[in-house]
Structure 1
Amino acid sequence: MKKWILLLCLALVVVLPLSACNQNKVETIKLAEVTHSIFYAPLYVAMAEGFFEDEGLNVELTTTWGGDKTMTTLLSDGADIALVGSETSIYVHAQGSKDKVINFAQLTQTDGTFLVSREKIENFEWDQLKGSTFLGQRVGGMPQMVGEFVLKQHGINPHSDLELIQNIDFANIPSAFASGTGDYVQLFEPTASILEKEGTGHIVASFGTESGKVPYTTFMSKESFLKENEDAARKFTSAIYKAQQWVQEKSADEITKSIAPQFKDTDLEIIETVVERYKEQGSFATDPILDEKEWNNLQDIMDEAGELPTRIDHDTLVNTSYAEEVAEN
């Protein structure tokens, strides 16, 4: 009997440390984001507040600057997960990709751009755009498609009722407007607020408010990766959900303090202004579930812009199982 007790104790001495090591194992996730923006505040909160760490994940973040580059990085295994507009998954599917790109967690649920006027306008009406020069976004991207969708909703034909400029690179649009090009411009934050603070432009409307809910930016992975790494995908989604709830509950000031290290060259006052603006218009999704209504709204916007290759069912490119599970628990 003593011999068996001794052997059992020795076995526990060996097994328990190994079990502890497995529980403390940290898994690295390579994440590619399409741009680096305050619009993605919940992601940076998840990193700053330790929500990924709590799930046993180490997230290596890379900014890939552009939808095409981000998707190429994902498809070539340069990233495990991509944060980019859902329209890119539709483009890839339409090209006949054998390994589908699946949207599994939503981060933002509205467009993130604003209409900026060169002149200060007290009571802006969309009809005032007629006959003006409008500095728009890149053809085929969500900002451009949402922009044209909103204009048409207000009875404006963007190709005949105004002079539409779309041949300027994304990074150079703000400087082009600041140097005198265009009467109006469609801009992301914090650029819009920075121009307003400088007196160069004035925010007169929100495309996000006008276009309604849409899966503007989502986390997506190749179907093969999700099949092989379901646990990691679930943990990742859980961390994002915790961050979304944290952002929902906290003030703009608290959120600003959390994400400020990500934007060292931006004034805290500007960051807080932008966070407050996005919170007020409901841009930050409160949970990671990409529902069918949002998915169909996305395709309606793409179709209106003439950029929808083919209509795709929600279940084909969206997996809500992880998001629904973490939201329930």
Structure 2
Amino acid sequence: MKNWLKPSLLVFFSFLMLLVLAACGGGEGMQKVKVGEVTRSIFYAPLYVAIENGYFEEEGLEIDLSTIPGGDKTMTALLSDGIDVALVGSETSIYVAAQGANDPIKNFAQLTQTDGTFLVSREPIENFTWDMLKDSTFLGQRKGGMPQMVGEFVLKQHGIDPHGDLELIQNIDFANISTAFASGTGDFVQLFEPTASIFEEEGVGYIVASFGTESGHVPYTVFMAKDSFMNASPETVEAFTRAIKKAQDFVYSSSAEEVANAISPYFEDTEVDLIATVVDRYRAQESFAKDPILDEEEWNNLQNIMDEAGELPERIPYEELVDTTFAEKVTD
């Protein structure tokens, strides 16, 4: 009995070891990519679709996604190799380049192509016109960020001096803007979704205009990486971009409900019906980019908006900070 047990146990444990090795081998060849998003938003729906629908996995990529609030913090994480890829406003790459970075940040895949904020009024307005903002208190976004710059750009396009024709509040942190408005601060506020729609449902505020439709196409949120990372891992960057293109196709070819169901795990406190409403709204104004290519006209529009806001440190040529090589490869 004793002599029979030892070889049997040996065979048994050898079999177990083979199972363990086989299980571990299932992950072999998967390339881990650390991605940092500047905030969690339905505005970034294609990213979550790419994860949940397995498009990254199909490309051999394992995505480690983290939310890093604030463009400055996201860029710090990218520059210090805390993340490989950043999803953030493309203006941040200009700020970094203007400081003389030795390892430039390159924009390689565009996710959103319009501003994602909406103008919300405290009272319902049946026939809104932009001049209604004159002499009002406007709760705007953080100074230097894309929402604030686009907000001021749109106001000026409608003949409103943001710093002369109304009381502009810009000293409230991004995370607290909606709370401040709900508490009674401001006649108008500039908000992202789903907060704008939630406020409308609750009677806290009412959407009266879209900054996205007013400002035109800009590379509002873009995937970017250090030049050194892209040079060292071109296959990874191409695979990443291809997964994003698959997700962009899904977002525009599927129903809003299908998209909402796909991304609902990222918004557990938001009803799926509301997510679908927001997806539909962003899709109707083509806020989600239809392909990952960032074109030169969009880049120039971005710098014009920054310049108008007094936030452009210097004009950076398109070819210096934009690399469309991978986006063009995956877009037919």
TM range (shorter): over 0.9
SS in 1 for 2:331: helix
**Equivalent runs, 1:219-258 vs 2, <5 Å:** 219-258=223-262
Contact 1:34 1:84 in 2 (8 A): yes
Tell me what 2:116 maps to.
Answer: 112
Show CA shifts across 1:252-298 (max 9, x none). Answer: 00000100011101111211111110000000001000000000000
Alignment match of 1:307 (pick from 289, 306, 311): 311
Contact 1:24 1:56 in 2 (8 A): no
The Cα of 1:200 is off from its aligned counterpart by 0.6
Tell me what 2:101 maps to.
Answer: 97
Moved over 3 A (4+): 21-24
**Equivalent runs, 1:1-329 vs 2, <5 Å:** 25-328=29-332
CA distance in 1, matches of 2:152, 2:305: 9
Contact 2:257 2:273 in 1 (8 A): no
Contact 1:48 1:259 in 2 (8 A): yes
CA distance in 2, matches of 1:182, 1:230: 48
The aligned amino acid for 2:259 is I
The verdict on how the C-alpha distance between 1:182 and 1:326 changes in structure 2, with shifts beyond 3 A counting, is: same
SS in 2 for 1:286: coil
CA distance in 1, matches of 2:86, 2:47: 12
Contact 1:103 1:317 in 2 (8 A): yes
The aligned amino acid for 2:184 is G
Instruction: Give unmatched runs, 5+ long, in structure 2.
Output: 1-24
The Cα of 1:22 is off from its aligned counterpart by 11
The aligned amino acid for 1:219 is F
Tell me what 2:22 maps to.
Answer: none
CA distance in 2, matches of 1:198, 1:175: 13
Show CA shifts across 1:76-105 (max 9, x none). Answer: 000000000000000000001110000000
Show CA shifts across 1:143-202 (max 9, x none). Answer: 000000000000000000000000111111001001110000000000100100000100
Contact 1:174 1:191 in 2 (8 A): yes
The aligned amino acid for 2:264 is A
CA distance in 1, matches of 2:253, 2:282: 14
Instruction: Give unmatched runs, 5+ long, in structure 1.
Output: 1-20
The aligned amino acid for 1:189 is E
Identical-pair percentage: 68
The aligned amino acid for 2:323 is N
The Cα of 1:49 is off from its aligned counterpart by 0.4
Contact 2:134 2:165 in 1 (8 A): yes
TM-score (norm 1): 0.92
SS in 1 for 2:62: strand
The aligned amino acid for 2:55 is F
